[in-house]
Homo-oligomer: A and B are copies of this chain.
Amino acid sequence: MSITAQSVKELREKTGAGLLDCQKALTEAKGNMEEAITILRKKGAASAAKKADRVTKEGLIESYIHVGGKVGVLLEVNCETDFVARNEDFKGFLKDLCLQIAAASPLYVTREEVPEAEVTKERDIAAAQVAGKPPAAVQKIVEGKLEKFYSTLCLIDQPFVKNPDKTVKEILTEKIATIGENISIRRFTRYQLGA
Binding site for B on A (CB under 8 A): 38, 41-42, 44, 48-49, 52-65, 69-76, 78, 85, 105, 121, 124-125, 128-129, 152, 187, 189, 191-195
Contact = CB atoms under 8 A, between A and B. Distances in A.
Contact of A60 (B59, B69, B125, B192): B69
A71 to B, nearest CB: 7
A52 B193 CA distance: 11
B195 A53 contact: yes
Contact of A189 (B52, B189, B194): B189
Contacts of A64: 63
30 contacts: A42-B124, A48-B152, A52-B195, A54-B194, A54-B195, A55-B70, A55-B193, A55-B195, A57-B194, A59-B194, A60-B69, A60-B70, A60-B193, A61-B69, A61-B70, A61-B72, A62-B65, A62-B69, A62-B72, A63-B72, A63-B74, A69-B85, A72-B74, A72-B75, A72-B76, A73-B74, A74-B74, A74-B191, A78-B194, A189-B191
A61 B191 contact: yes
Contacts of A42: 124-125, 128-129
A157 B70 CA distance: 26
A193 B58 contact: yes
Given A48-B152, A56-B194, A74-B74, 15 more contacts: A49-B152, A57-B193, A57-B194, A59-B194, A60-B69, A61-B65, A61-B70, A63-B63, A63-B73, A63-B74, A69-B85, A72-B76, A73-B74, A76-B193, A189-B189
